[in-house]
Amino acid sequence: MITINEHYLKLQASYLFSDIAGRVAAFQEKNPDKDIIKLGIGDVTKGLTRSAVDAFHKAVDEMADTTTFRGYGPEQGYGFLRDAIAANDFQSRGADISADEIFVSDGAKCDTGNIQELFSRDIKIAIPDPVYPVYLDTNVMAGRTGEFAEGRFKGLVYLDSTKENKFVPSLPAEDVDLIYLCFPNNPTGSTITREELKTWVDYAREHKALILFDAAYEAFIRDESLPKSIYEIEGAKEVAIEFRSFSKSAGFTGTRCAYSVVPKECTAYDSKGNKQLLHSLWNRRHCTKFNGVSYPVQRAAEATYSEAGKIQTRALTDYYMKNAELICKTIAKLGYEYAGGQNSPYIWIDGGMDSWQFFDMLLNKTGVVCTPGAGFGKCGNGYIRISAFNSYENVEIAMARVKEALS
């Protein structure tokens, strides 16, 4: 008899964004004339940059010619892309990361979900609340939690991110082994200072813990004093793995390219307390389960680092940040408290009522889709998240409707 992994039965019925998509589809079916504007899932809407598209086309032509054709590439990514990443995203900011510490992949969602395979079942995990659901659900699937009760899974240490701590959680009161951090944060849009991030690195060093640092939104940081990478903090290389993505920074949500950074000195321990290097374990996993991102996609990603590519890519995030500014202005005028939107494409709004109720009310009255904060955890209840990913014209229409409906 084939039996299932029963940990799956502990999960909430469906993945948050699938749940929302289902509700929006049902609403649209009932209200076919209603014009819906999606400011829910953080999915980009602008086309790829000229540089990326030209490189993409050129690489596709190379694939069509037997003399330049490429079959399987290196699982970890082509040297040309890993070199460009290391030089531009890290070395240029004083972070000593080398190309062979970069693992190119098809998404930060997959990477942040897959990385937990390297760790034992009985580690103590600290997870923010609210949180990007992937960190949580993948650990539930792996059996690292108890049952779900009163909005939380048993066995985890939740790091509350609230108005009181400006959505930057404090260090846990008890010992933990694995810590998930995401800055600029999804969903709250909050950022972390160098000093605050250093307290986490120091904690991890002291407790032989590991930080999984999700920096998928670093390209939206406008305040130059904020760290973009955890490796800008001294001592982080031994205790942190970082995740990055071209999805939001360069409009690659449908093109698929991301990477994780596993420094060679990054350490975990076996059951006897012996040091084990995570770089070789992740490399082993990557080679076994992944066959690399396609050559044209990696060429397109590489092109985002050319001189023209950098300017064009920056223009993409500037475009969405203008949307964020308009959303923040509207929300502030309506008298709502909010976080984010300054160095992040997400605006986290205290709606003053149950978040699913707010979601339904907004959809019914305005046709605007947001994400209910409760979908990100218990601390998210009462909040909604509005994403800045849409055209400026649509955001203008959406905000005019919101103003009218909520004034």
- The sign of the CA dihedral 346, 348, 354, 357 is negative
For residue 355, state whether it binds ligand MLT (rule: CB under 6 A): no
If the CB atoms of residues 130 and 292 are measured against ligand MLT, the closer one turns out to be 130
Q: Taking the complex as a whole, how short is the minimal distance between the CB of residue 191 and ligand MLT, in angstroms?
A: 16
Name the residue nearer to ligand MLT (CB basis): 109 or 228: 109
Least distance to ligand MLT from the beta carbon of 51, Å? 23
- The Cα–Cα gap between 206 and 76 comes to 31
Given phi > 0 = left and psi -120 to 50 = alpha, else beta, which region is 70?
beta
CB 298 within 8 A of CB 60: no
In the complex with ligand MLT, the residue whose CB is nearer, 112 or 342, is 112
Pick between residue 42 and residue 309 the one whose CB is nearest to ligand MLT. Answer: 42
Q: In whole angstroms, how close is the CB of 387 to ligand MLT at the nearest point?
A: 6
What's the closest the beta carbon of residue 80 comes to ligand MLT, in angstroms? 26
Q: How far is the CB of 159 from ligand MLT (least distance, A)?
A: 18
State the pairing for strand pair 102-105/258-261. antiparallel
Question: What are 29's two structure tokens?
Answer: 């079916």
How many Å separate Cα 114 from the centre of its chain?
14
Report the chain's terminal Cα–Cα distance, integer Å: 60
Q: Which is nearer to ligand MLT, 78 or 135 (CB)?
A: 135
Question: Whose Cβ is closer to ligand MLT: residue 59's or residue 370's?
Answer: 370
Closest chain position to ligand MLT (CB):
42
- What character string, x for contact with ligand MLT (CB under 6 A) and - otherwise, covers 232-271? ----------------------------------------
Site track 68-107 with ligand MLT (rule: CB under 6 A), x = hit:
----------------------------------------
Dihedral of the alpha carbons of 326, 329, 333, 336, in degrees to the nearest 10: 100
* Choice from 82, 109, 198, 279 touching ligand MLT (CB under 6 A): 109
Of 182, 127, 186, 161, nearest in space to 340 by CA: 186
- State the Cα–Cα distance between residues 267 and 208, nearest whole angstrom: 8
Tell me whether residue 291 is exposed, middle or buried, using C-beta atoms within 10 angstroms of its C-beta: 0 to 12, 13 to 18, 19 or more.
exposed
**Looking only at residues 24 through 43 of this chain, which bind ligand MLT when binding is defined by CB under 6 A?**
41-43
Go through 43-74 and write b for each residue having 16 or more CB atoms within 10 A of its CB, e for each that does not. ebeeebbebbebbbeebeeeeeeeeeeeeebe
Applying CB under 6 A, the site for ligand MLT has a residue count of 6
Q: How far is the CB of 65 from ligand MLT (least distance, A)?
A: 35
Minimal distance in Å, beta carbon 372 to ligand MLT?
12
Give me the least distance between CB of 137 and ligand MLT, in Å please.
Answer: 12
For residues 204 and 363, which CB has a smaller minimum distance to ligand MLT in the complex? 363
d(CA 53, CA 299): 9
CB nearer to ligand MLT: pick between 81 and 386: 386
* Residues 115-154 within binding reach of ligand MLT (CB under 6 A): 132
Cβ proximity to ligand MLT, 108 vs 209, nearer residue: 108
Find the DSSP H helices in 251-306. 278-289, 295-303
Least distance (Å) between residue 186 CB and ligand MLT = 5
Is-contact 118 268, C-beta < 8 A? yes
Please identify, using beta-carbon distances, which residue of 263 and 375 lies nearer to ligand MLT: 375
Task: Mention every residue, 6+ apart, whose C-beta is less than 8 A from residue 294.
Answer: none
**Residue 405 interacting with ligand MLT (CB under 6 A):** no
CB of 347 to ligand MLT, least distance (A): 12
Does the footprint of ligand MLT cover residue 186 (CB under 6 A)? Answer: yes
Query: CA-CA distances (angstroms) from residue 182 to 188, 215, 227, 228?
Result: 10, 6, 12, 11
User: Two tokens at 242?
Assistant: 């970082």
Interface residue list for ligand MLT (CB under 6 A):
41-43, 109, 132, 186
